[in-house]
Amino acid sequence: MKIQSVEPIEVAAPAGEASSPWSSTVILVKVTTGNGAVGWGEAPTTLMTAPVRESVREVARFYEGVELDRHAEALRRFEIYSFYRSRSMEATSALSAVDIACHDLVGRAAGVPVSTLLGGAIRDRVRAYSNGWYSDCIEPAEFAAKAKAMVASGFRALKFDPFGDEYRTLSPEGLDRAAARVGAVREAVGETVDLLIEYHGRFLPEAAIRAGRALDRFHPRFMEEPVLPELCDALRTFRERVATPVALGERLLTAADFESFLARGLVDILQPDITNSGGFSYGREIAGVAAAHGAPVAYHNAFGPVQTAATLQMDAVLPTFFLQESFEASWPAWKRSLVRGYEIERGEFAIPKKPGLGIEVDEAAVERFRSDVMEPIGPEPPWVIAGTWLRRPSAGPTPGGPSRPG
């Protein structure tokens, strides 16, 4: 079977329908062979929708006309030609989506799930943590109420960003507000639920460390991307002064990047994203790096359902699997309609066992939501959960005094 076409398809929220949590656009990649077989991949967006879509067209030139069972040769040839690949998320995202789709096709042709192509599943189910559940939360009581609802639905781990509109620096009042939110969630859900604190890579080192030391007392399971990515060397000091483990990886693109962060003592828990770090082909290399260091892996998974399906196939084979991110419980209807074939129930995913990614893409829904828009520029940046960045006039430090360590 020769690869006949590689098509990027953008889908987007319909007019008037809220798209948070996470990403008002999704880029799917449809790879079709000469005999009409179809495989699907996905690439991330986050204010790079148009560049990634066009990068898929660049990658397509290396795959179209190639025998499917030799798709790895196309990937290696793209490596040679793509001079900035190791530092271009647009290039690696496009490559990832095509690689995922090729594996989907190979698995379908062989009648086995992708996990079998990767060496075989070592687990059938994975524990998930919920993200995106705290839309429109500002006050601590609002975080607490929604956290309790997610725990009641079966989740035993919750990730959230308590920092509102603080960026780079962190005011004393901003730290008090963050601590009040985390404290309210901890009190609401108890000590048996894992809390995961999302920083979104937003702080200078001094501010990140102050926040970490203040929030340590709530016993989070990890703190994610506490410092601005370009200041990552400061993570060594953060880890020395803050007790909670550091998680990161969604902005790392190669196995060498992950090896470097582990070797330099900058991270505890790895969070690769299969849609920007080389799909399954490079995913195996990253898994090997994690295994060699004994590093837990909690795949980043914040965009669409094809990404989730692909990530679950990696989870099935990871020797150091830790947790799986999930936005599914808080998705808008349009995103839910794109794919059938996997479910999350009581905070766990069952890993699909059907051939390929184990899913069926609803092409009618894809056509219904097809778009060529760029992500809108709204009052909040696209990387936050909607309604959490804008501060209400009533919001302020919670009574009880400062929460910062002396």
- Which sequence spans correspond to the domains of the chain? 3-112, 116-357
Point out the residues that are catalytic.
200, 300
With a CB cutoff of 8 Å and minimum separation 6, the contacts of 347 are: 127, 128, 129, 130, 153, 154, 155, 156, 157
Q: Which amino acid is at 179?
A: A
Amino acid at 306: V
**Residue 398, pLDDT score:** 40
Tell me the HSE value of 217 on the side-chain side, using a 13 A CA sphere: 13
Packed helices 279-293 and 305-315: angle between N→C axes, nearest 10 degrees:
40
Q: Which residues, at least 6 apart from 152, have a Cβ–Cβ distance to it below 8 Å?
A: none
**In whole angstroms, what is the distance from residue 326 CA to residue 305 CA?**
10
Say what the pLDDT of residue 403 is: 34
Q: What is the pLDDT of residue 133?
A: 96
pLDDT tens digits in sequence order for the chain, 406 residues long: 999 999 999 999 888 776 665 678 999 999 999 999 999 999 999 889 999 999 999 999 999 999 999 999 999 999 999 999 999 999 999 999 999 999 999 999 999 999 999 999 999 999 999 999 999 999 999 999 999 999 999 999 999 999 999 999 999 999 999 999 999 999 999 999 999 999 999 999 999 999 999 999 999 999 999 999 999 999 999 999 999 999 999 999 999 999 999 999 999 999 999 999 999 999 999 999 999 999 999 999 999 999 999 999 999 999 999 999 999 999 998 999 999 999 999 999 999 999 999 999 999 999 999 999 888 888 888 899 989 998 776 544 443 333 333 2
**Which single residue is written with the structure tokens 């962190």?**
170
Q: Express each pLDDT in 348-396 by its tens digit.
A: 999 999 999 999 999 999 999 999 988 888 888 889 998 999 877 654 4
Backbone angles phi, psi at 181, to 5 degrees: -65, -45
Q: What CATH code would you report for 116-357?
A: 3.20.20.120
8 A C-beta contact, residue 191 and residue 214: no
pTM: 0.95
Pairing relationship of beta strands 269-270 and 246-248 according to DSSP bridges: parallel
What's the pLDDT score for residue 391? Answer: 78
DSSP secondary structure letter of residue 259: H
CA atoms lying within 13 Å on the CB side of residue 313? 34
- Which of 344, 273, 338 is CA-nearest to residue 13? 338
Using an 8 Å Cβ cutoff, are 174 and 135 in contact? Answer: no
Residue entry with tokens 């794919």: 339
Helix axes 172-189, 205-215, angle to 10 degrees: 30
Topology of domain 3-112 in CATH is Enolase-like; domain 1 (3.30.390)
Given this model, what pLDDT does residue 377 score? 82
